[in-house]
A and B are shown apart, each in its own frame.
Chain A
Amino acid sequence: MDLLEYQGKQLFAAHGIAVPGGEVAATVDEAVAAAERVGYPCAIKAQVPIGGRGKAGGIKIAADAAQAREHAGAIVGMDIRGPRGEGPFRVERVWVEAGSDIDSEHYASVILDRGEKKLLAMVSAKGGMDIEAVAAEDPEALVKQHIDPTRPFAAAEARPIVDAAGLDEDVREEVAAALAKLAEVAMAEDASLIEVNPLVVTNGREVVALDAKVTIDNNALYRHEELAAIDAASVTDPQEAMAREKGLVYVKLDGNVGILANGAGLCMSTLDVVAQAGGEPANFLDAGGGSKAEAIVDALTVIGSDEKVTAILFNIFGGITRCDEIATGIVEASGQLDLAVPLVVRLDGTNSERGLEILAAAKLPNLHQEKTMLDAARKVVEIAGRPPAADAGVSERGSRRS
């Protein structure tokens, strides 16, 4: 789960990392009232879980109440896409933040290094810009050090990389302390990514986190009640919310071919094969290992409620999952739901013959069987046709990352 900037900053503040004062607001009036309390100049910042907000027009500085109203009016409700096509995310909240008196902008992060199986602290004197670009153009400007995850990371251990990064001498101790606290946040809050870009030094020589990008490990939410509540409230897409309620693993995509498969790998592969056949997947839905009839009904309810979907592909390779149970689930679902779109079903693996017999006996209208994954993908793409024009639907979705 990715926290919004203000949620990340609240987490920082709780661990003693300096952040600018501010207030969160959901409407233009609330934003203006917040700006009056925060004082001018202040920044009105769109709260969406992606980078590149400034370039997209999601961050503006207000010098007075009139400007606060103008900027908040432009930002609240706008749709922002990330630099790599993430989203779009609708701005439902803005963070109204006291202006900072900036001398210099830097970069600090603590991330999970999957390859080395350690946490990794990074610092750079160059901040406020795309850090991947900095790393590509000037690798030495980004200084790294691994952290032992079994014990606290002390400021004294962070000091050498802060020295190596070449920050101003008078702030090095404070930056090292901030880096140690970021590591503390990672370990205490189960964050697998914490990025501060920029970490600023003010004219008063204070070290302040001006932005916060925090990713929390979903598997650890059970031990963080407040973060779990944020996660639960973060799902605004209607299908994603419904799927979560039913305990299904679902991700909304932009296309019109509904997808249901068992197992995460097979499901990803199904999306790819559908795309190769010229189709556009509408979703990822992993029905899981032991998919029972009830789960099939739930899955079809979620996929079928997406108005863009014009056909649904069922791709099942039964291992522990038995194809006869899946087939029974499809027949039951067809009886319970008023599914308007055709289904293409491919059943293979455990008890597949029995499953195919059940489907054949039910004589469901609008159901097509295919023997292989590739044939099923071609068939569903043929039936689904082209998705409706891209500009309808897409910009009105306001989906959010989970």
Chain B
Amino acid sequence: MSIVVDNDTRLVVSGLTGREGSFHGLRNRSYGTYLAAGVTPGKGGQDVEGVPVFDSIREAVEQEGANTSMIFVPARFAAPAIDEAIESGVHTVIAITEGIPVLDMLRTYWKAKEAGVRLIGPNCPGVLSPGKANVGIIPAQFFDPGKVGVVSKSGTLTYQIGNELKQAGEGNSSIVGIGGDPIVGSDFIDVLRLFEADPETELIVMVGEIGGDAEERAAEFIAAEISKPVVAYIAGFTAPPGKQMGHAGAIISGSSGTAQAKKEALEAKGVRVGESPTETAAIAVKALRA
């Protein structure tokens, strides 16, 4: 087992005929992900290296049995594309696009909730279940199959930690990038719940950063619902208040959303928080072997 994507994933990529969409979609296929179809309105009937292209996601669901949608559509068209995916019949939507207006995401978030569709992202690197499927832009070469589940707001920080785990001989059940936007489809809590239920996952690494209170909420949830060990890392201790640090959601507003507050909330619930990505990986390895 693993979570969100696996051997049953039948992927449809919105934006497959675009430069980024084709590069990453085909990369996902060469990793072993079943790439069922692409979607670009007006280009139905074409194909991208043998992958059929449809005008709508629904057609890809009906004709190719697609069950997971990946959105690689420019920001100003992305929310309608996610909405289309939510209504198409897939059970999972993974939105990579960065820069979607937050108000659009608020509306789309509730559409996904009401439809019972799992939305990951936006502004995320996607989901990788090593040895099974890769949906998104995560460089799979830094991750081996294994027992550590990773859930993260950041892409490169995840690669850094994953690589350190790999060098220490440990692998991953799944790596889930939840995204760095203020409003994302799945929060830490949603993914922690999946890892708790996944028999392959023995330990969870959670990578947070400044902004919002998703880490504080996760701390409460971990104390109440998670029996597996959780190791955390938080980025942004030196970030000044009121400044957006790259990610749209990475901003300290007033006195809320600081790295220190998140670290304290997690530690208060017994979660070990590493000082650096390296120390975080080391704590995880030690805990696995304890």
Contacts and interface: CB of A to CB of B under 8 A. Distances in A.
A219 B247 CA distance: 11
Given A84-B255, A350-B139, A374-B276, A251 B245 contact: yes
B241 A84 contact: yes
Contacts, number: 185
B283 interface: no
Interface of B: 75-76, 99-104, 106-107, 109-110, 125, 137-139, 141-142, 152-160, 163, 180, 182-183, 207, 209-214, 217, 233, 235-250, 253-255, 259, 275-278
B275 A276 contact: yes
A85 interface: yes
A128 interface: no
Contacts of A318: 139
Interface stretch (A69-77, A258-266, A329-337): A258-266
A86 B240 contact: yes
Main DSSP-derived SS at the B contact region: loop
Contact of B212 (A86, A114, A269): A114
A400 B276 CA distance: 30
B208 to A, nearest CB: 9
A273 B235 CA distance: 10
28 contacts: A2-B242, A84-B242, A117-B109, A219-B75, A219-B101, A220-B102, A220-B104, A251-B244, A253-B240, A262-B156, A263-B157, A264-B180, A264-B250, A266-B156, A266-B157, A268-B239, A269-B276, A271-B236, A271-B237, A272-B237, A272-B238, A275-B237, A317-B159, A317-B160, A348-B160, A350-B139, A374-B276, A401-B242
Interface in A183-229: 186-187, 190, 192-193, 217-220, 222-223
B245 A284 contact: yes
A359 interface: no
B243 A251 contact: yes
Contact of A220 (B103, B253, B255): B103
A402 B154 contact: no
A251 B213 CA distance: 23
Contacts of A150: 107, 110
A373 B159 contact: no
Nearest to B101: A220
Nearest to B139: A319
B154 A117 contact: no
A219 B156 contact: no
A271 B238 CA distance: 6
Interface residues on A, range: 35 or more
Contacts of A112: 102, 106, 182-183
A82 interface: yes
A119 B275 CA distance: 34
Interface of A: 2, 49-50, 82, 84-86, 112, 114-115, 117-119, 132, 149-150, 186-187, 190, 192-193, 217-220, 222-223, 249, 251, 253, 261-269, 271-276, 281, 284, 286, 289, 317-320, 348-350, 372-374, 401-402
B212 A286 contact: no
A194 to B, nearest CB: 13
Contact of A114 (B100, B138, B249): B249
A377 to B, nearest CB: 9
Nearest to A119: B106
A264 B210 CA distance: 11
B154 A264 contact: yes
B247 A265 contact: yes
The 10 A-B pairs of least Cβ separation, nearest first, read: A265-B154, A264-B246, A263-B156, A265-B157, A220-B101, A319-B139, A266-B156, A268-B235, A114-B212, A286-B246
Contacts of B163: 317, 348-349
Main DSSP-derived SS at the A contact region: mixed
Contacts of A374: 276, 278
Nearest to B125: A319
Contact of A193 (B207, B236, B238, B253): B253
A219 B155 contact: no
Nearest to B177: A265
Nearest to B181: A219
Contacts of B106: 112, 117-119, 149
B246 A115 contact: no
A337 B75 CA distance: 34
Nearest to A319: B139
Nearest to B241: A84
A116 to B, nearest CB: 10
A23 to B, nearest CB: 27
Given A84-B254, A115-B217, A217 B137 contact: no
Given A115-B217, A219-B100, A268 B246 contact: yes
Contacts of B154: 263-266, 268
A190 B237 contact: no
A251 B247 CA distance: 12
B125 to A, nearest CB: 8
Given A264-B247, A271-B238, A286-B246, 8 more contacts: A84-B255, A119-B106, A217-B102, A220-B104, A261-B156, A265-B246, A271-B236, A319-B137
A86 B242 contact: yes
B156 A319 contact: yes
Contacts of A274: 238
Contacts of B254: 84, 132
A317 B161 CA distance: 10
A167 B152 CA distance: 44
Contacts of B180: 264-265
Contacts of A275: 237-238
B246 A249 contact: yes
B238 A265 contact: no
A232 to B, nearest CB: 16
B102 A269 contact: no
B246 A217 contact: no
A372 B276 CA distance: 12
Contacts of A50: 242
A264 B76 CA distance: 21
A104 B36 CA distance: 64
